[in-house]
Structure 1
Amino acid sequence: METLPKEQLLNSLEHLVDGHLQQAIQHFQNMTARDLLQPAPDGGWSIAQCLDHLNSYGHYYLPKIQQGIAKNVHLTPKDTFKSSWLGAYFIKMMDPETGKKKYKAFKGHIPAPNLDAYAVVAEFIQQQENLLIFLKEARSADLNAIRIPISIARFITLKLGDVFQFIIAHDERHIRQAMRNMAEKTSARF
């Protein structure tokens, strides 16, 4: 677990979130509800289900992040961040480059098949915009000291820097899944 300059970490995370936001606006926002709700050819989740799954994590984590930052404004921020061993483990597990294993979604995070596709996309865009705001606010926060309880076991807490990395890696994983689904739909038409 290496120590990273906080500014470098937050810049790279903002870049990823901005990419997720742009993909949602350019691709998913302009698709038909039918295409957004069509299951993947391999029987996997539809694009809307991928985004709804991410929204369910946002429902939990975004308010916790906002509270954590607001509650700890008095802390003197450190210029560096070092992941905890548990945080590093979760991030590596979720990162699409290092975590190749498929995981079953936890109860409460399994998307329904019949969704309001446009509402799901709009909510995802809003959550990504909020995440960008929180990343900017985190520049004046201590990413090491603010602790956030994880959704699957609230008695376990992770450092704010680990939570940001985990959420964004999880988003990247499912955005790639949605993009593969979109590409397969496009190639199936031709």
Structure 2
Amino acid sequence: MNSRAFLEALHGRVQALHTTVSTDFAPLEAALLNVKPSPTSWSILECLEHLNRYARYYLPQLAKALAQPAGPAPTDFSHSWLGRKSIEAVRPENQKKQKTLARMNPNQSQLSPATIAEFLAHQQQLLALLAQAKTTDLSRKAIPVEFFRLLKLSIGDALEFVVAHQERHVLQAERVRQQLHLELRV
């Protein structure tokens, strides 16, 4: 696929996530943001905190990789096998539950609306990284996988992994919000 088109599509997806969180979650009261549909599920803020924990790892890794000099950026990019598998596992369409690492699981965390502000700040960072990525080789393997750092994702794979993972959990948070609205109407 064309690298520029790939990055522009990711940019649009990140902007959509930013808009959803800004308009659907930010106006809610802290009490609603912390409501859990069931004891084992996550609240809206827990969904976003989970994403913040991943962003705290992946965004600095991406920034570091993009800061390193590289040759001219190829016009095309294709996912590696590891990248395709990683992205497929976190796509919102994949209904299979994924096991969350303990350090990435925000269940029972004490969270405030500052979690939303941090998420939105991460989105701004990600948009800047996507702009910066236009001048690099997206196929360069440079991003250690968070849970097994000996494995490395390419820059393009890591960018799409982060975005798809965010879409999955923002959609999860949206389902929580919709359930809250239904319960409040009853």
TM-score over 0.5 for the alignment?
Answer: yes
Within 5 Å, give how 1:8-23 maps onto structure 2: 8-23=5-20
- Which sections of structure 2, spanning at least 5 residues, go unmatched? none
Quick check: 1:179 aligned with 2:142?
A: no
Quick check: 1:109 aligned with 2:104?
A: yes
Quick check: 1:83 aligned with 2:83?
A: no
The letter for the 1-side match of 2:118 is: E
Is 1:75–1:141's contact at 8 Å kept on the other side of the alignment?
Answer: yes
**Equivalent-residue separation in structure 2 for 1:67 and 1:9 (angstroms):** 21
Is 2:141–2:152's contact at 8 Å kept on the other side of the alignment?
Answer: no
**CA offset at residue 42 of structure 1?**
7.1
**Equivalent-residue separation in structure 2 for 1:81 and 1:45 (angstroms):** 35
Aligned counterpart for 2:114 among listed residues 94, 115, 119? 119
The letter for the 1-side match of 2:80 is: S
Is 1:37–1:113's contact at 8 Å kept on the other side of the alignment?
Answer: no
Quick check: 1:92 aligned with 2:79?
A: no
Matched position secondary structure for 1:148 = strand
Aligned counterpart for 2:64 among listed residues 51, 67, 74? 67
Quick check: 1:163 aligned with 2:158?
A: yes
The letter for the 1-side match of 2:77 is: F
What is the TM-score normalised by the length of structure 2?
0.95
**Equivalent-residue separation in structure 1 for 2:141 and 2:175 (angstroms):** 35
**Equivalent-residue separation in structure 2 for 1:121 and 1:113 (angstroms):** 17
Is 1:69–1:146's contact at 8 Å kept on the other side of the alignment?
Answer: no
Is 1:95–1:169's contact at 8 Å kept on the other side of the alignment?
Answer: yes
**CA offset at residue 116 of structure 1?**
3.0
Is 2:62–2:155's contact at 8 Å kept on the other side of the alignment?
Answer: yes
Aligned counterpart for 1:44 among listed residues 41, 44, 47? 41
1:58 matched residue in structure 2: 55
User: Cα RMSD (Å) of the superposition?
Assistant: 1.2
State the identity as a percent: 31
Aligned counterpart for 1:5 among listed residues 2, 5, 28? 2
**CA offset at residue 108 of structure 1?**
1.1
Matched position secondary structure for 2:153 = strand
Matched position secondary structure for 2:102 = coil
**CA offset at residue 43 of structure 1?**
4.0
Is 2:17–2:170's contact at 8 Å kept on the other side of the alignment?
Answer: yes
Is 2:42–2:107's contact at 8 Å kept on the other side of the alignment?
Answer: no
2:137 matched residue in structure 1: 142
What is the TM-score normalised by the length of structure 1?
0.93
